[in-house]
Amino acid sequence: MAAPAGVATAARPVHTAPTPLEPVLTRTREELAAVLGSLTGTRALVMTMGSLHEGHLSLVREAQARADHVVVTIYVNPLQFGPGEDFEAYPRDLEADLALLARAGVDVVFAPSDAEMYPTPPLVRIDPGPVASVLEGRTRPGHFAGVLQVVAKVLNLVRPDLAVFGAKDAQQLALVRTLVRDLDLGVEIVGVPIRREADGLAMSSRNAYLSADERASALALVGALRAGADAADRGGEAALTAARAVLEAADGVALDYLALVDPGTFLPLDDGAHTGPGLLAVAARVGRTRLIDNLTVQLGPRHP
């Protein structure tokens, strides 16, 4: 796509001719607005923090299947990181990300600076409600308020017909759906299943932090979830016990939480009596790296 006058086209060096599939890189809201104004048809949004992998690309492909144009944002949002978390260390490689997105045929990339995103400290804040204080929100106070603040801003800047989020961050996906419903934002939210490595590890930008030994230990997360799923026909307590046993047997894995919750409300489902779908969610530190994963399990007797 040709860039309108005044819009940065820096997805590749200026001496090479842009191909029709090259994304237009926009760094400011004005540049973004100019490009969006030149598009016709529907558009889908994929929000990322960059350091892109196949998981992100599966969101892009879902977006491409559902809309005429895809806007990918790359922004490490400081508001969703707490003190002592990895905001500074978070892997950033815009050039590699742009190359991947060019190959994927993405139209537009929005990669703002912090000053562009938050020219003044935001005074009006979004209260994400009770779901934001359990699981991830309990360990990371303020995290979901920061997530929803940036999601609301980017939805307003891009005005997409639909936005695609990964089930990897299941609680985030649920909260984004609630945000859109409660504030009548008028955008369709599409969830995409977790992409995993061949050995089952959930893809994550943070996997880049892991040493070879830690990478092996990290398999305990998916191993625990699968053990829980296998035991789920005997009920919630059995699923949690089976999953916990895998995590306790693993070397170098410090459990943050393991929980079985209602996939919609995120309220606990560990009374043993519940049947039907439940979300088994885990967070753990492997070395200095905090990883999360989840799996939907079927609680109660299997019907042949």
Just list the catalytic residues.
56
Binding-site members are 49-56, 80, 166-169, 172, 203-206
The number of beta carbons lying within 10 Å of the beta carbon of residue 271 is: 10
Q: Which of 1, 26, 36, 48 binds ligand AMP (CB under 6 A)?
A: 48
Does 62 contact ligand AMP by CB under 6 A? no
Phi, psi of 290 (to 5 degrees): -95, 125
293, 197 Cβ separation under 8 angstroms: no
Does 168 contact ligand AMP by CB under 6 A? yes
Does 194 contact ligand AMP by CB under 6 A? yes
Long-range contacts: 56-63, Cβ < 8 Å, 24+? Answer: 56/166, 57/100, 57/104, 58/166, 58/192, 58/193, 58/195, 59/164, 59/165, 59/166, 59/192, 60/101, 60/104, 60/106, 60/164, 61/104, 62/164, 62/190, 62/192, 63/162, 63/164, 63/190
Q: Which of 63, 104, 192, 227 binds ligand AMP (CB under 6 A)?
A: 192
Strand pairing report for 43-48 and 108-110: unpaired
Nearest CA to 283 out of 237, 225, 227 is that of: 225
Spatial CB neighbours of 208, under 8 Å, sequence gap ≥ 6: 51, 91
Does 166 contact ligand AMP by CB under 6 A? yes
Q: Which of 55, 128, 146, 278 binds ligand AMP (CB under 6 A)?
A: 55
Closer Cβ to ligand AMP, 59 or 117, answer by number: 59
Q: Which residues, 241 to 260, sit near ligand AMP by CB under 6 A?
A: none
Among 48-56, 114-122, 134-142, 287-295, the segment contacting ligand AMP (CB under 6 A): 48-56
Q: Which of 36, 189, 203, 239 binds ligand AMP (CB under 6 A)?
A: 203
Binding-site members for (R)-pantoate are 80, 172
Does 56 contact ligand AMP by CB under 6 A? yes
CA distances from 112 to 50, 91, 128, 157 (A): 12, 16, 24, 12
Cα–Cα distance measured from residue 259 to residue 129, given in angstroms and rounded to the nearest whole number: 19
Does 290 contact ligand AMP by CB under 6 A? no
Cα–Cα distance measured from residue 244 to residue 166, given in angstroms and rounded to the nearest whole number: 25
Nearest CA to 79 out of 22, 125, 30, 27 is that of: 125
User: C-beta of 130: minimal distance to ligand AMP in Å?
Assistant: 21
Closer Cβ to ligand AMP, 214 or 293, answer by number: 293
Does 160 contact ligand AMP by CB under 6 A? no
Among 13-21, 85-93, 98-106, 196-204, the segment contacting ligand AMP (CB under 6 A): 196-204
284 token code pair: 């753990």
Query: How many binding residues for ligand AMP (CB under 6 A)?
Result: 17
Q: Which of 26, 73, 205, 207 binds ligand AMP (CB under 6 A)?
A: 205
Q: Which of 31, 97, 169, 214 binds ligand AMP (CB under 6 A)?
A: 169
User: C-beta of 203: minimal distance to ligand AMP in Å?
Assistant: 3
Helix (H, G, I), strand (E, B) or coil at 74: strand
Q: Which positions lie near ligand AMP, rule CB under 6 A?
A: 48-49, 55-56, 58-59, 165-166, 168-169, 192, 194-195, 202-205
